Amino acid sequence: MTARRAAIVGGGVIGGGWAARFLLMGWDVRIFDPDPEAARKIGEVLANARRSLPGLSDVALPPEGALTFHETMSEAVEGAEWIQESVPERLELKRKVYQTLQEHCDADAIIGSSTSGFKPSELQGCATRPGQIVVTHPFNPVYLLPLVELVTTDKNAGETVARAKDILTGIGMHPLHLRAEIDAHIADRFLEAVWREALWLIKDGIATTEEIDDAIRYGFGLRWAQMGLFETYRIAGGEAGMRHFIEQFGPCLSWPWTKLMDVPELTDALIDQIADQSDAQSGQFSIRELERTRDNNLVTILRGLKAQDWGAGKLLNAQDRRVAGVPTLPDDISQPIVTVERAVPLDWTDYNGHMNEARYLQVFGDATDRMMILVGCDADYISTGGSYFTAETHIRHLDEVHAGAVIRVETQVLLGEGKKMHLFHRMFEGDRELATGEHMLIHVSLETRRASEPAPHLAETLDRVAAAHVALPRPEGAGKAVGVKG
């Protein structure tokens, strides 16, 4: 099957992002950019996209298309179904580019502009075929963020607009079709308002750049990321919804809370319009349902940030460390050692309403990591070149685990001698046993990646725990494999 073809004119940060988006969605991509470093720069953007974009999908992406660089625009646009212009924001330059493009491209090709400021009517001004040209304004990184503002005029045929939406949707984007032209479209107008207010806060000595960023990334930015502005405020209005929120906070628009004081009057007609649109958007959900959805989304976002140790996630990791304290072996090691105590997060459940299979392994993996630390295989030890690798794992699922359950893992050392560490984990909620995990680990040299003897102090501690546990009953399920019970 012949791949569809896109042409990218201008291979900067945005053009490179468009190239990566099309390419990884199976399109052949032809690039024109006079910059002698274009191939290197786009190659680096593409490397980042290959690393990150496929991870958003739970299915295999289409086979990657072919990427080629061309000396002229006429050669680059040959046979292209979609042409994305991402040249600098100078109207005369863009119009000149369109004149060249339209001399050589197919008459039914769509020409999208990445412009953040110009209206499509301005871009179409000197065009041979103005109906070909639309605004398709994306957000960086183009290969990850789905929003693209699609702005058209009455010169764009309905079929062209529909085809543009289909193509953009087909490469995983969300085309937000503006009903009317406006300078800077929609999203950048919001950004500009926040940017202007931030500049005033800095100039007036109210806040630093870091404090302003903290206000966004630790607060409303997280809410906006998953519900936007109006759905967030609908919840703030409580059970009475958006109309109640406006009644409560609408008068604030006349107060000097911002330097941007040119605001519309909250007439009854405007209130009705906002409330009716909010009802249409979210009225099918109760406030409690919206709150639960919000909480689920926020937990997912915050836990993702935790994994990267960034933004609000870095705060949560620091709090975890404060609460947990320094891990040390208990004074009494004659009993199984508690290696995990935690609640099951909202995003750990599956379509059956209980904990996903992969999370059982994560919990037992965390228990193994904690046991390693307790016997001395911590970050400092690993930095010297030694660690344990898991060689075999066997998990038994004994009972259901639901979101919010407070789980505990008790770990018994079945063997701790030489290069081997044999652990048996039991997961509980209260007295109810939920699952077991049996793990055989081998000590390795990180330099050779082969089995090696552990350092003496580590071996001595592990042996001491194993000797203390040898008197314990052998746990039910230890040493068993998957099979039909007789």
Which one, of 34, 161, 163, 29, lies nearest residue 97 by Cα? 34
Pairwise CA distance, residues 8 & 69, whole Å:
10
Q: Does the annotation place 413 within a ligand binding site?
A: no
Q: Does the annotation place 416 within a ligand binding site?
A: no
- Helix (H) or strand (E) run with residue 256 in it: none
Q: Does the annotation place 14 within a ligand binding site?
A: yes
Pairwise CA distance, residues 9 & 93, whole Å:
12
CB atoms within 10 A of CB 396: 17
The token pair at 376 is 């001395």
Pairwise CA distance, residues 49 & 298, whole Å:
25
Pairwise CA distance, residues 339 & 272, whole Å:
56
CA 374-379-385 angle, 5° bins: 110
The token pair at 13 is 């940060």
Which one, of 376, 346, 380, lies nearest residue 454 by Cα? 376
Pairwise CA distance, residues 106 & 363, whole Å:
57
Cβ-contact 456, 373 below 8 angstroms? no
CB atoms within 10 A of CB 37: 11
DSSP-assigned states of every residue in 174-224: EEEEESS--TTTTHHHHHHHHHHHHHHHHHTTS--HHHHHHHIIIIIHHHH
Q: Does the annotation place 55 within a ligand binding site?
A: no
Q: Does the annotation place 373 within a ligand binding site?
A: no
Q: Does the annotation place 382 within a ligand binding site?
A: no
**Distance, C-alpha 428 to centroid of its chain:** 32
Where would I find the H helices in 242-334? 242-249, 268-282, 287-308, 312-324
DSSP-assigned states of every residue in 26-73: T-EEEEE---TTHHHHHHHHHHHHHHHGGGG-SSPPPPP--EEEESSH
Q: On the CB side of 35, how many CA atoms lie within 13 Å of its CA?
A: 17
CA 413-414-418 angle, 5° bins: 90
Which residues participate in the annotated binding site for NAD(+)?
Answer: 10-15
Which residues participate in the annotated binding site?
Answer: 10-15
